[in-house]
Amino acid sequence: MMISEAAQESVYFFTGADFLLVNALLWRNDANVGRGIEAVYRNNTGIIQEAMEMTPAVRWGVSKEEGQKRLEAYQRRTPDEINEAAKAEMIETAINDIHNICNAMQPADTEMLLYRNVVEDFAIQSPTIGSEVDLIGITSTSTTGQQIDYGKNDFKITFYQYEIRVAAGMPVLVLENDYRQENEVILPPMRYRITGVRDKIIALEAIKPLDVGL
């Protein structure tokens, strides 16, 4: 799926640390907006420093021209310091990213079965078959379902998996395989119907996209 250069940049940063700020804005969570700004700033400044030390081409394993282009994008999106004006600018950039990503979506050619792993604390609480739920963030999913459960590791993190059925004609953004190392599909804010619950798996059916309202 071909998308504009502006949308490509928005997707590139969303699939990095920027998803924290983007989805905090969509969920209207002011506290997480602040945390998202700090996370994006730390991430970007660290990457800029690495690129300057290693050269952009080496940092990203791309051509000199492409490396310089990526570095300039990071520099353009990252303020020298965090103050109120810088926060407002980063929020404006994130809102533009939201619109770029959502506007780049196209109707799915066929029905799709997609998967997303979600930390237990952020999963749908008390899911009931037949009920509807709004996921108002932009959702990154995979076409290959591999359930993750780190419940027995040192961090005691448990993941739930969403199995998401998306009908043909629903808006999706399919990333090219060489763009990321997995078959990734991005969904807009969406209303879903819960169609099944078993173990740590929640089956969802996409009903309709939601207005982002930003």
Mean pLDDT of the chain: 91
Q: What is the mean pLDDT of residues 34-56?
A: 97
On the question of pLDDT at 153 being above 60, the answer is no
On the question of pLDDT at 82 being above 70, the answer is yes
**pLDDT for position 140:** 93
Q: Return d(Cα 192, Cα 204) in angstroms, integer.
A: 6
**pLDDT for position 204:** 98
Q: Return d(Cα 134, Cα 132) in angstroms, integer.
A: 7
Q: Please tell me the least confidently modeled range out of 2-6, 49-53, 89-93, 208-212.
A: 2-6
Secondary structure of the chain in the HEC alphabet?
A: CCCCHHHHHHHHHHHHHHHHHHHHHHCCCHHHHHHHHHHHHHHHHHHHHHHHHHCHHHHHCCCHHHHHHHHHHHHHHCCCCCCHHHHHHHHHHHHHHHHHHHHHCEECCCCEEEEEEEEHHHCCCCCCCCCEEEECCCEEEECCCCCCCECCCCCCECEEEEEEEECCCCEEEECCCCCCCCCEEEECCEEEEEEEEECCEEEEEEEEECCCCC
Q: Evaluate whether the domain defined by 106-209 bears CATH number 3.40.50.300.
A: no
What residue segments make up the domains of the chain, in order of their start? 5-104, 106-209
Over residues 86-117, the pLDDT tens digits come to 999 999 999 999 999 999 999 999 999 999 99
Q: Return d(Cα 44, Cα 42) in angstroms, integer.
A: 6
On the question of pLDDT at 167 being above 80, the answer is yes
The percent of residues above 90 in pLDDT, for the chain, comes to 81
On the question of pLDDT at 34 being above 60, the answer is yes
